[in-house]
Structure 1
Amino acid sequence: MEFGDRGTRVLVSGGEYTGGLAAVRALRAAGYEPWVADPVDGTYGALSRAAAGSVRVTDPRADPLSFAGELAKAASRLGAGVVLPGTEPALLALGEHRGLFPAEVAVGAPPPELTIAATDKQSLAARASAAGFAVPPTHLVTLDDLRAGRVAPRYPVVVKPVRSELWDGDVLQRFEVVQARDEAALTAALTGLPDQAGLVQPYVVGPIRTVNGVAWRGEVVAAVHKLADRTWPLDCGVVCSARTVPVEPEVDRAARALMADLGWSGLFNLQMISAGGAHHVIDLNPRIYHSLALAVAAGANLPAIWTSLLLGHRPTFAGYRTGVRFRSEEDAMALWGTLLDGHAGAALRGLVPHRHTTHAVVSLRDPAPTLNILRRAVRVARRRGGPRG
């Protein structure tokens, strides 16, 4: 696959996450020159040999305007031709403050209203249903509703924030999806959310399937289908073991209809659970995502395709290889959890190595990011081994 303007400097945020590391590696492999912009030093992306360098910027969750302004100055100083936001806060900040960048810099952030629409979990249910997907029954529930007896969910349920990133005081904060097995757990989950309100859905059991790709003005330019083997945490976690699978035409058509409805431009990760003969949409991440390395290893260099589109080129997408596997470092925890749940056979099968497996962080060709894992392990060990308060 040929990409336009090879050698262009690309400034990427989100290098503190494994998806950001995958983006940096993918851009270098495609012939671009990636630079990393993060709010802390020594991130996965900054440590990678694929990165040409790194700059320190304000956390977009704490100060979106300062983040965008510092990124704009860095882009001008480095002569970057493209800026790629790696997180939802970065998408929102750059979409809101696009005017701070020189006109010749392509910024991969749509207007903020498009990002808000794409990350709204309540409207996702209606949009996904209209596109042809099944959707678990979704209700906005407040803590007052629960205490007053106005809702009587059948447990277990899944509790979601209305968006993954929400303002909590003056800071944008990330809130995770959790499972609640009883009223006490649901009360605790709602109490921890802004306005003590969240979306409640039945807990659907089944394999997780995702469609990952790049859209441009609502048109899906490239798409990769994958099937998850495990997540961590086991109940409502991120995919930590997966493999690419053939395109399922019905799912692909519905995913394209959803992206067209949103008018989205950029990366996306659409998640669904297959149960009862239907594919139930559970989430949409319109950004760089955790298992991005799998698509790249399968021959679909999504970050490079996105960059090329921003530069005004339309690369030809020739498909991807099926049977390619992905494993993140959290999979060790998932296998341990599977064993503790009484599924020894599944845990042992998960230990069997497979050819053509790519990892989220560990790489013989790029070993430095692994230092981040070791540093985190040392910090955890020190905290657990230190004096108790």
Structure 2
Amino acid sequence: MPVPPFDTRVPAVLVRLDRNPFHHGTLGAARSLGRAGIPVHAVVEPADGPVTRSRYVRSVRARPASATSAELAALLLRIAGEVTDAPSDPVLAVPLDDVSALALARRRAELADRVLLPEQTEEQLLRVADKASLAGTCAALGLPHPRTELPASAEEAAAMAWALGLPVVAKWSRPWLLPAGAGLRSTTILRSLAEVRELYGRTPQAGSRLLLQELLPPGRDLDWFFHGYADTEGRCAAGATGRKERSWPDGAGLTAVGRWAPNPEVDRAARDLLGALGYRGVCDLDFRLDRDTGAYHLLDFNPRPGAQFRLFADAGGLDVVRALHLDLTGRPVPPHLPAYGRRFVVENYAALSLLASPRRRSTAGPGTARRPGERAWFAADDPLPALVMGRAWLAHLLRRALATARRRLAAGRPRHPAALPGPSAPTSSTTQLTRR
């Protein structure tokens, strides 16, 4: 069934408040909507990053200086007035990170006359976006989730880590509050009690609680994700499962290569959770299989499009971002047709993963024969973002390598050629993990 015509009179405004210039999900949203003839505008940081060079992005605004929800709401209303023909014409807002989704939900009532958003409150989103609340939500619903503890002191953190078993996963419950440049990551694997105590001591700086989580052993083909869109009636109009084949850091981080593959158990768990929550809008869920129990544990729930959402573009071009535009502009969302075997490759992360683990292979599994896929950065109809990203990426790696070399020299270590380290995971990603 072909995707019905879009209402191209309704522009889309992509919103991403974090400072990650290599967020390929934002580029994917611009291309998806732009190729459908929908005018695309963006509020992103940095305002001159690779995404802004896309032919499908018509205008770019820098994020508000303090990035408060009030400033963001005012900016969106101003953009709506500039890019539409009449004072009553709407625009669609598409948040691409957790902090943007929460800020828009907080201001939904005052934006309702001009900005189309799913019917969600900030409190509803915090049930899943806040890592501590997610653990409680899973416990209340009986959904498998890694054992999680919330320490109240450094010594209690050490005792809990010992009981969980080292190494242990440490997460900040609200990673969007982490200050830029502080060297704190949303998720860290801690291997000693000294590391646990030291990280807990940085709680005041982090801005949210530290939680400790059992580390489910990583392994080949254990990490899965579900991307979906729950429409205004609560139906999961578009949704699919995929398997993470490569990640960066290798075996524990962002999706570098993903494949569309059937997993009825993950699909059922995700859809049941959305129904129990009364969720509306786009979501991205990460699961890991516990080999000992055979259960899929929910690791993360992101209330917005995942960076690799374009993996699930079907033969008619339908993906979760297009489903969002169709639904909120009053168009029907057609059935989402599986394309098992389709692959999505994030070139920069895939290259690092291959360097780290060149021989690792993933099993295709039943019903997942290879199909044409998509690259995150390079597209024949939109090549400039890939060129800009490649130049910026090489400069980034060089800076990291030089910083590593200086630290070694300062510590009095023998000089060795510095390996090119990968980037720190973006604040919105996880490391047990997942994403994206």
Q: Secondary structure at the match of 1:290?
A: coil
- The aligned counterpart of 1:202 is 214
More strand by share: 1
Q: Select 2:171's aligned residue among 130, 141, 160.
A: 160
Under a length normalisation based on structure 1, what TM-score does the superposition of the two structures give? Answer: 0.86
Moved more, 217-226 or 265-274: 217-226
Counterpart amino acid of residue 75 in structure 1: A
CA distances 1:56-92 after superposition (whole Å, capped 9, x unpaired): 33156x4332222112101111115212222212122
TM-aligned CA deviation for residue 238 of structure 1: 1.4
Please show how residues 345-364 of structure 1 align to structure 2 within 5 Å.
345-346=359-360, 356-364=372-380
- The aligned counterpart of 2:282 is 267
- The aligned counterpart of 2:299 is 282
Q: Select 1:105's aligned residue among 98, 115, 129.
A: 115
Counterpart amino acid of residue 26 in structure 1: S
Partners of 1:132 and 1:319 in 2: how far apart? 30
Q: Structure 1 residues 42, 167: closer, same or farther in 2, change over 3 A? A: closer
1:336 matched to 2:355? The reply is yes
Counterpart amino acid of residue 179 in structure 1: I
1:240 matched to 2:256? The reply is yes
Partners of 2:384 and 2:335 in 1: how far apart? 31
- The aligned counterpart of 1:45 is 51
Q: Structure 1 residues 361, 59: closer, same or farther in 2, change over 3 A? A: farther
Q: Select 1:33's aligned residue among 31, 39, 48.
A: 39
- The aligned counterpart of 2:334 is 316
Counterpart amino acid of residue 230 in structure 1: R
Equivalent residue pairs, number: 378
Q: Structure 1 residues 160, 102: closer, same or farther in 2, change over 3 A? A: closer
Moved more, 191-200 or 365-374: 191-200
TM-aligned CA deviation for residue 285 of structure 1: 0.9
Q: Structure 1 residues 110, 308: closer, same or farther in 2, change over 3 A? A: same
1:85 matched to 2:95? The reply is yes
Runs (5+) with no aligned partner, structure 1? 340-344
Counterpart amino acid of residue 333 in structure 1: L
Q: Structure 1 residues 134, 312: closer, same or farther in 2, change over 3 A? A: same
Would you say the 8 A contact 1:131–1:255 is kept in 2? no
Q: Structure 1 residues 313, 319: closer, same or farther in 2, change over 3 A? A: same
- The aligned counterpart of 1:10 is 12
CA distances 1:90-126 after superposition (whole Å, capped 9, x unpaired): 1222222235436143135732112212212223234
TM-aligned CA deviation for residue 51 of structure 1: 1.7
Counterpart amino acid of residue 282 in structure 1: L
TM-aligned CA deviation for residue 304 of structure 1: 0.9
Counterpart amino acid of residue 211 in structure 2: L
- The aligned counterpart of 1:63 is 68
TM-aligned CA deviation for residue 271 of structure 1: 0.6
Partners of 1:376 and 1:301 in 2: how far apart? 28
Could you tell me the percent identity over the aligned residues? 24
Counterpart amino acid of residue 300 in structure 2: D
Would you say the 8 A contact 1:224–1:300 is kept in 2? no
Partners of 1:384 and 1:172 in 2: how far apart? 19
Give the RMSD, CA atoms, in angstroms: 3.2
- The aligned counterpart of 2:425 is none
Q: Secondary structure at the match of 1:125?
A: helix
Counterpart amino acid of residue 98 in structure 1: R
Q: Structure 1 residues 367, 4: closer, same or farther in 2, change over 3 A? A: closer
Would you say the 8 A contact 2:244–2:257 is kept in 1? yes
Under a length normalisation based on structure 2, what TM-score does the superposition of the two structures give? Answer: 0.77
Q: Structure 1 residues 243, 150: closer, same or farther in 2, change over 3 A? A: closer
Runs (5+) with no aligned partner, structure 2? 85-89, 364-369, 411-436
Q: Select 2:138's aligned residue among 120, 128, 131.
A: 128
CA distances 1:318-345 after superposition (whole Å, capped 9, x unpaired): 3220000111121111222225xxxxx3
Partners of 1:382 and 1:69 in 2: how far apart? 37
Q: Structure 1 residues 149, 81: closer, same or farther in 2, change over 3 A? A: closer
Counterpart amino acid of residue 287 in structure 1: R
